[in-house]
Amino acid sequence: MNVWIRIAELLLGIIFLGAGLNGYVVLFGFEAFAPTSPAAMEFLGEGYFLALEKGVEIIAGVLLIIRRFVPLTLIVLASIIVNILAFHLFVDSDLLALAILVTVLEGILVWFYRDRFKGLMES
């Protein structure tokens, strides 16, 4: 196991776990403990969509940290990360550096686990 890949998994897992927990803190009416995008919180609202999104982020973060179902977790996170990157590119550029970091970490991990995805590309 490459130590850099493990660091990328942990970092991506911690980012998503923290973002998910931060979203639930906001959902329950408390002050966020980490920087958030006001535009993103307005877009997600305070209902089921925010809870669903942040719930997936928490589960994905935990799975990356404990190294269970990592390829599946990367597939689930891919659509979320594309939306995060697009949102911060076109709507709110305050957290663009974090969005780019998350995208790069996802790309590194997808490349490392590319052999696990070959079955998806076969007809």
pLDDT, tens only, 58-94: 999 999 999 999 999 999 999 999 999 999 999 989 8
User: pLDDT tens-digit profile of 94-109?
Assistant: 899 999 999 999 999 9
| pTM, two decimal places | 0.89
CB 59 within 8 A of CB 3: no
Residue of 22 and 74 predicted with greater confidence: 74
Exposure string for 62-88, b = 16+ CB within 10 A, e = fewer: ebbbeeeebbebbebbeebbeebbebb
Residue 19 is which amino acid?
A: A
Q: Which amino acid is present at 100?
A: I
Whether residue 21 is predicted with pLDDT greater than 80 in this model: the reply is yes
Pair 102, 15: CB distance under 8 Å: yes
**Looking at this protein, which amino acid is placed at residue 66?**
I
Q: Look at the block and give the residue holding tokens 């002050």.
A: 31
Query: For residue 110, is pLDDT > 80?
Result: yes
Distance of alpha carbon 82 from alpha carbon 62, whole angstroms: 20
Residue for token digits 């609202």? 45
